[in-house]
Amino acid sequence: MPRMNVGRTPLLVTCAWIAVAIAAGSCRSRDATDADAASSASASASEQPAASVSASASASSTVPSVPLELQRFTFTSKVRNKEPADTLEKAESGQRVWAHFAIRNRSGETRKIAVAFSVNGEKRTSLDLKIEPSWSFRTWGYVTLRKTDTEGELTVEALDDQGVPLASGKLPIVPKASKKKR
């Protein structure tokens, strides 16, 4: 009876794929930085013709191929346990207003979003928030309205690290409600 090689075929196929990946240079350590890639490109520049140097320089400035996905955006008065405590329909003068984001980052690398808070068209607060690789990464930022902000509108705009609009929202500003004494 002929002898069959049952267990060796998957191992040979796996080894072949690893060899192809290494030969193609697609195996890059997660710890390798863009500075390492740039220094290796410049070190090999003396060995390569000028046309291939410009091609390798453009390849080192990679744009993430997987976009960030906004899952949820909420105006809230507080953040508790990484979640919005409530949903604001309006903002009162003197109040701290939080913008809470839930974002999917499947790019495999830490990304950033730029968040800008404006009151009646005047930019008040700008901040960058890191977005770690995650199926649902939660992050937030806030602005505190001035006591003189008694009318108008609070606006929030968030852009991803490629300049693509990710979220925007508007919230009406009303005078602070007076407390009645009994």
Q: What does the DSSP assignment read for 131-166? A: E-SEEEEEEEEEEE--TT--SEEEEEEEEETTS-EE
Instruction: Write out the E strands in the chain.
Output: 69-76, 79-80, 83-84, 91-92, 96-105, 111-119, 122-131, 134-144, 152-160, 165-174
CA distance 160 to 80: 25
pLDDT digits (tens, 9 = 90+) for 90-116: 999 999 999 999 999 999 999 999 999
Give residue 71's pLDDT.
97
Query: In the predicted model, is pLDDT for residue 136 greater than 70?
Result: yes
The pTM score is 0.64
pLDDT of 64 > 90? The answer is no
pLDDT digit string (tens) for 15-38? 444 443 444 443 333 333 333 333
Task: Tell me how far CA of residue 19 lies from CA of 25, 26, 90, 152, 182, in angstroms.
Answer: 10, 11, 60, 63, 81
Ordered by start, the domain boundaries in the chain are 8-60, 69-174
- At the topology level, CATH places domain 69-174 in Immunoglobulin-like (2.60.40)
